[in-house]
Structure 1
Amino acid sequence: MAHGSRVFEEPTSPGTPTVVPGIVPVVFGTAPVNLVQGIDNVNKPIKCESFTDFKKQFGFSKDWDNYTLCEVADAAFIEFEVAPFIFVNVLDPEVHKKRLTEQTLTIENHKATIKNYGVLKKSLKLIANNETLKEDVDYIASFNDDGLVTIAFLTIQEAVIAEYDMLDPSLVTATDVIGGYDVDTGKASGLECINKVFPRLRMVPSLILAPKFALDPTVAAVMRAKATSVNKYFKSFALTDADTSETVVFTDVFGWKNDNGYTGKLEAFCWPLVAKKNKVYHLSTHLACNILKVCTINKNYPYESASNKTIPIDKIVVKKGDSYEEVELEPNQAEILNDQGIVTALNFVNGFVTWGNYTAAYPDVTDIKDKFHATRLMHNFIGNTIVLKTWEKVDGPIRRRLVDEIVDEMNMWMNGLQGEGAIIGGRVEARAEDNPKEQLTEGKIIFRYFVAEPTPAQEIENILQVDTSYYDKIFN
């Protein structure tokens, strides 16, 4: 038993992220869940508001190619310091695993380290002299800071064989990310879990991400489909990326985008990858974080574009084989990408920024609400909020008082949005011609909402000319 006073140190934690309730990203991918065995974190929407939250629920790894959720956690909680993010891990340690046997451990000073990452510690079996060693009697196994299992032997051992299961993220496929609904068990998996977010957390999904997996056109197609109808009543917005291994030059992106169907009205399509030192992120990850960051400046209303807003990177890259190659993108080239509905990253007057306002549907779709990210996100926000604000009126008695209550309350809300600068103007009307008695007797009532969101000032034209009259002032 210890006797005295002692101090235990913990690593310095990153700053506390700013919570942005107006925009809620939902991220689908894989995490090193072996580090937190015992937590139910497979195909469950879990809200995290800090890096500590994330590590507690999912663990953390620097191997983002295999553990994709960690990329977003790093960007959100360390680089941008914004929250909340909702994560859905699709890597199931009961399914996506492999067995290793007859591995001889190297023992030094009564200690050994298993060099493979992803060990499922509960499956660990140590054998010495044809006998199975007992945990907490013959040895103690724990994870070190690098996520590797270290073994401290309590009894003298010279030759030990290890057998264990370990995670195999390579077994996670597009099918796992797409998921579905099992009618027999009543359980959802993959992207189908988007419909579990609001019932579970009372938060409306605003953005849908699946870094790396969204490079697969089938996954991206389901993301777009889910964005159109969440829980039947809400709309979301998908953030996707081009596969930079197939689009090394910016002129390759247009054909790849159209050939693979990345043309959604509720979608932002990004190219290329972005990097800070040795950390490489999908641009969709930084775009999501930037959307939240801009939202914090505007009292949590998503009406301002995230384009031309700084991102913490030092280069943009594409993938070539097992390495990355830096890209130098000029403003005129970035403009060409933007004109094809592609968001990029540009290093110019303000340093590196996300650059581009158009949704993936542009240039084929030119409706104001569907061509700009900012207007589409604000339109979603207004539509989703209308559902939330009027839901309590559902099943109330249809009479003049109900009509006036909804019109007055929602017009007051619209006036508030206008006062905050979130919209240029808006109003709510209940028209007699929309509500004939045949409809009212069926229990249905219709209200009309009119709104104008501010569009991004993506082109500012300044006319410069010489005024010779100023020369008269030289001697007069």
Structure 2
Amino acid sequence: MAGYQHGVYTYEVPTSIVPPVKSTAGLTVIVGTAPIHLTDDPAALVNKPMLGYTYSECVKKMGYLDDFDSYTICEAISSHFALFAVAPLVMINVLDPDKHSETGTEKVTITKNEGILKVAGVLKSSVIIKSVDGATTHDVKDYELEFDDDGYLHIYTSVATEVTVEFKKLNPSLVTPADIIGGVSLDGSYKGLELVNEVFPRFREVPGIIIAPKYSTNSAVAAVMKAKALNINGLFQAVAFADISTEEVRDYTQVPMVKNQNNLDNPNLQVFWPKVSLGGKQYHMSTQAASLANLVDASNEGYPYEEFSNKNLQMDAAVLADGTEILLSLEQANYLNGQGIVTALNWIGGWRAWGHRTSAYPANTDPKDAFISVRRVFIYEQNQFILSFWQKVDKPGNRKLIENIVDSKNIDFNSKAARQFILGGRIEFLEQENAVTALMDGTYTFHLFITPPTPAREIKGLFEFDPSYFSVLFG
């Protein structure tokens, strides 16, 4: 308690308006495989979320090779940073040297004190160099090891002209859908897609888009991605981008059937077919779509109200996995769109993402569930509401609290409406939605109304012949 006071004193009180907390709508989280053998400590990168803001940072943390089929995280690194120049990216590697590896032995010729072990995925720490007959093990001080840009191990030594190399190497083909799905271990640690729950506690960023290129073609993986997107940390939501296999589905007319068979039908799930190619290098469309969504969001102050449909992908061909080119007509592409599938269209302006419907369409036609951009706005607003007003939890439930939340959110809505991000929005504290028994139990319910603009999916022009203009002939 303050003592006797005499004079003028000042005090600070909390601001009556709470500024909104920014939520990263497009923060992409990829679960897949990385060439961790190129890093200093591969074992430390297994089932651990890593955040990267630059190309070089991601390469240093996870390694990089152009073999996207073996190392799917490299596909996302390339798409995000090289093709679209967007950031950041959260990477979760499930490739485990203890589970997904095998041993090998190779003879290597040493020329001018240098030899190349042309085997992919070699773990440097496992290498043992012996004499040609395998009888003698060379001291580690007698040689140096270094990877080249292709991921092959170079051996530098002056003690021999030919050696036998024993090693353990990564085998990404041993990674299964179960590894991507993951779960919770007996020790309480998370694996695979369950690690999405660690993104916010680690980095204070809410996941926005979940991808698992190559593996999301598996129906079980897609189902878990869908479930995870609906419930992150018991609070937040995101969207999941999944692909339909271009190995199993070679004809566009079969894509809707596979979508339905695999139960790919949720507002928070977007479905893509086929793959895209740039200079002969293939990308899953879900990967480039995630990067493109980030690029479009960035042009709108991070607010996800604009569709990434009809925006340019970084591609020169739509392809199947075996390289067969797919060239859809506008009618064929629209058919897929009408079944809740996003595709690629080579039309006015070059190759573009084409499709604005979530996988819930056409079974669900509610605008907030059927349009990708509208769905992402609803997710963004819900996440932002949680982040902004979490600080008010356990404050006294009085008029001051209610007015603070209502005034703060209405100011936020008005600002977004003024910038044309939404057509309008408001928040109300309604008596009929707040029963006395609920208030007695500490539950306060606010009702938020919001109308994001729907995409102009069809623009019509009505042309009519007007005979009255013949009058100009008699001027």
TM-score scaled to structure 2, two decimals?
A: 0.93
Q: Which residue of 2 aligns with 1:10?
A: none
User: Counterparts of 1:201-280 in structure 2 under 5 Å?
Assistant: 201-280=203-282
User: Counterparts of 1:47-62 in structure 2 under 5 Å?
Assistant: 47-62=51-66
Q: Deviations over 1:22-42 (max 9, x none)?
A: 421111100000000316221
Partner Cα separation in structure 2 for residue 441 and residue 280 of structure 1: 59
Tell me if structure 1 keeps the 8 A contact 2:126–2:168: yes
- Matched letter for residue 254 of structure 2: D
1:83 aligns with 2:87: yes
Partner Cα separation in structure 1 for residue 139 and residue 418 of structure 2: 68
Displacement of 1:156 in angstroms is 2.8
- Matched letter for residue 29 of structure 2: V
Q: Deviations over 1:179-203 (max 9, x none)?
A: 0012x32210000001000001101
Q: Deviations over 1:96-123 (max 9, x none)?
A: 110113x211221121100001100000
Tell me if structure 1 keeps the 8 A contact 2:111–2:161: no
Tell me if structure 2 keeps the 8 A contact 1:31–1:69: yes
Q: Which residue of 1 aligns with 2:18?
A: none
Partner Cα separation in structure 2 for residue 290 and residue 471 of structure 1: 50
- Matched letter for residue 360 of structure 2: A
Q: Which residue of 2 aligns with 1:114?
A: 117
Partner Cα separation in structure 2 for residue 328 and residue 442 of structure 1: 60
Q: Residue 178 of structure 2: SS of its match in structure 1? A: helix
Displacement of 1:398 in angstroms is 1.2
Alignment counterpart, residue 132 of structure 1, candidates 129, 137, 151: 137
Q: Deviations over 1:237-288 (max 9, x none)?
A: 1101111112111111111111111112211100111111111011111111
Q: Deviations over 1:196-247 (max 9, x none)?
A: 0000110111111000000000000000011111111111111011111121
Displacement of 1:94 in angstroms is 2.2
Partner Cα separation in structure 1 for residue 399 and residue 254 of structure 2: 59
Q: Deviations over 1:306-340 (max 9, x none)?
A: 11011121110112xxx310011100110111001
Tell me if structure 2 keeps the 8 A contact 1:21–1:84: no
Partner Cα separation in structure 2 for residue 446 and residue 327 of structure 1: 51
1:333 aligns with 2:332: yes
- Structure 2: runs of 5 or more not aligned: 1-22
User: Counterparts of 1:30-49 in structure 2 under 5 Å?
Assistant: 30-38=33-41, 40-49=44-53
Tell me if structure 2 keeps the 8 A contact 1:268–1:360: yes
Partner Cα separation in structure 1 for residue 162 and residue 320 of structure 2: 46
Query: Which deviates further from its counterpart, 113-122 or 30-39?
Result: 30-39
User: Counterparts of 1:279-318 in structure 2 under 5 Å?
Assistant: 279-318=281-320
**Aligned residues: percent identity?**
39
Displacement of 1:406 in angstroms is 1.0
- Matched letter for residue 71 of structure 2: Y
Partner Cα separation in structure 2 for residue 472 and residue 414 of structure 1: 52
Q: Which residue of 1 aligns with 2:402?
A: 403
1:174 aligns with 2:177: yes
User: Counterparts of 1:427-446 in structure 2 under 5 Å?
Assistant: 427-446=426-445
- Matched letter for residue 452 of structure 2: E
Partner Cα separation in structure 1 for residue 241 and residue 31 of structure 2: 12
Tell me if structure 1 keeps the 8 A contact 2:367–2:374: yes
Displacement of 1:417 in angstroms is 1.6
Spell out structure 1 runs of 4+ moving beyond 4 A: none
1:344 aligns with 2:348: no
Q: Which residue of 2 aligns with 1:157?
A: 160
Partner Cα separation in structure 2 for residue 219 and residue 419 of structure 1: 41
Q: Which residue of 1 aligns with 2:196?
A: 194
Tell me if structure 2 keeps the 8 A contact 1:423–1:453: yes
Partner Cα separation in structure 2 for residue 73 and residue 311 of structure 1: 16
Q: Which residue of 1 aligns with 2:108?
A: 105
Paired positions, count: 450
Partner Cα separation in structure 1 for residue 161 and residue 311 of structure 2: 59
Partner Cα separation in structure 2 for residue 146 and residue 328 of structure 1: 33
- Matched letter for residue 250 of structure 1: Y
- Structure 1: runs of 5 or more not aligned: 1-19
1:28 aligns with 2:31: yes
Displacement of 1:52 in angstroms is 0.5
- Matched letter for residue 245 of structure 1: E
Displacement of 1:433 in angstroms is 2.3
Query: Which deviates further from its counterpart, 412-421 or 304-313?
Result: 412-421
Query: Which deviates further from its counterpart, 430-439 or 300-309?
Result: 430-439
Q: Which residue of 2 aligns with 1:185?
A: 187
Displacement of 1:475 in angstroms is 4.8
RMSD: 1.3
- Matched letter for residue 308 of structure 1: N
- Matched letter for residue 87 of structure 1: M
Partner Cα separation in structure 2 for residue 108 and residue 159 of structure 1: 9
Partner Cα separation in structure 1 for residue 349 and residue 473 of structure 2: 37
Partner Cα separation in structure 2 for residue 277 and residue 211 of structure 1: 19
- Matched letter for residue 208 of structure 2: S
